[in-house]
């Protein structure tokens, strides 16, 4: 086993431990199952392609962090995550904002591997490698909102927005997408700052 493979194995094991712990008595088993469909597909796709993609260790760490964030969110059906509830009371928010943090995390953590893949495979220049990942993140985020709306109408017709955990926010979809976009921007700004000083790979 090469050094990097060992590293990936450790990350995978860490995620697996979190997953098993979160799979025990989730708040809402149906919601948990639904949230995990995406996760399983994502991990499956990644495990089939990781050899060919040759992502860096940093990318794998970011992906693992996002997966752990999602595992925790799925356990608490996002809206009932204790930390988010605490923030709701402490800051007087109208809703549990953990889902927004997860969307932000989606943009923040995944913009990095997306940029790496673009640089490696798509042939784009460095200057564009900071512009396109936020676009791809926002595109996926928009696609996810459409997917969610279709699932909601299928499972719970009529009360779709509430069922999705909108928690009374009529701009829920737009705010979710904005959170992902901001996350991607922050990550790209950070990468740009860091790579400017160091030597370019």
Q: How far is the CB of 39 from another protein (least distance, A)?
A: 22
Among 171, 189, 190, 192, binds another protein (CB under 8 A): 171
Tell me: does residue 16 bind another protein (CB under 8 A).
Answer: no
Q: How many residues bind another protein (CB under 8 A)?
A: 30
Q: How far is the CB of 49 from another protein (least distance, A)?
A: 16
Tell me: does residue 156 bind another protein (CB under 8 A).
Answer: no
> How many angstroms separate the CA atoms of 23 and 25, rounded?
6
Virtual torsion, Cα 157, 158, 161, 162, nearest 10 deg: -100
> How many angstroms separate the CA atoms of 138 and 62, rounded?
18
Residues 79-138 that bind another protein (CB under 8 A): 121-125, 128, 132, 134-138
- Label each residue of the chain as H, E or C: CCHHHHHHHHHHHHHHHHHHHHHCCCCCHHHHHHHHHHHHHHHHHHHHHHHHHCCCHHHHHHHHHHHHHHHHHHHCCCCCCHHHHHHHHHHCCCCCCHHHHHHHHHHHHHHHHHHHHHHHHHCCCCHHHHCHHHHHHHHHHHHHHHHHHHHHHHHCCCCHHHHCCCCCCCCHHHHHHHHHHHHHHHHHHHHHHHHHHCCCC
Among 63, 102, 161, 188, binds another protein (CB under 8 A): 161
Q: How far is the CB of 33 from another protein (least distance, A)?
A: 23
Taking the least distance from each CB to another protein, the nearer of 170 and 197 is: 170
Tell me: does residue 174 bind another protein (CB under 8 A).
Answer: yes
Q: How far is the CB of 146 from another protein (least distance, A)?
A: 5
Tell me: does residue 45 bind another protein (CB under 8 A).
Answer: no
Tell me: does residue 155 bind another protein (CB under 8 A).
Answer: no
Among 143, 189, 190, 192, binds another protein (CB under 8 A): 143
Interface residues with another protein (CB under 8 A) are: 121-125, 128, 132, 134-139, 141-143, 145-146, 149, 153, 160-161, 170-171, 173-175, 177-178, 181
């Amino acid at each position: 086993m090469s050094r990097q493979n060992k590293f990936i194995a450790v990350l995978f094991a860490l995620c697996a431990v979190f997953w098993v712990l979160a799979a025990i008595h989730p708040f809402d088993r149906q919601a948990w199952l639904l949230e995990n469909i995406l996760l399983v597909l994502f991990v499956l796709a990644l495990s089939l392609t990781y050899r060919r993609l040759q992502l860096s260790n940093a990318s794998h760490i970011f992906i693992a962090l996002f997966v752990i964030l999602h595992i925790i969110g799925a356990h608490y059906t996002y809206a009932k995550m204790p930390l988010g509830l605490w923030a709701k009371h402490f800051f007087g928010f109208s809703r549990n904002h953990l889902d927004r943090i997860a969307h932000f995390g989606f943009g923040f953590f995944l913009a990095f591997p997306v940029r790496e893949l673009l640089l490696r495979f798509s042939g784009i220049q460095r200057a564009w490698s900071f512009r396109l990942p936020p676009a791809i993140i926002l595109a996926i985020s928009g696609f996810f909102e459409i997917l969610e709306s279709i699932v909601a109408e299928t499972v719970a017709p009529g009360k779709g927005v509430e069922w999705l955990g909108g928690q009374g926010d009529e701009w829920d979809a737009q705010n979710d997408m904005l959170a992902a976009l901001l996350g991607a921007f922050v990550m790209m700004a950070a990468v740009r700052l860091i790579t400017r000083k160091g030597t370019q790979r």
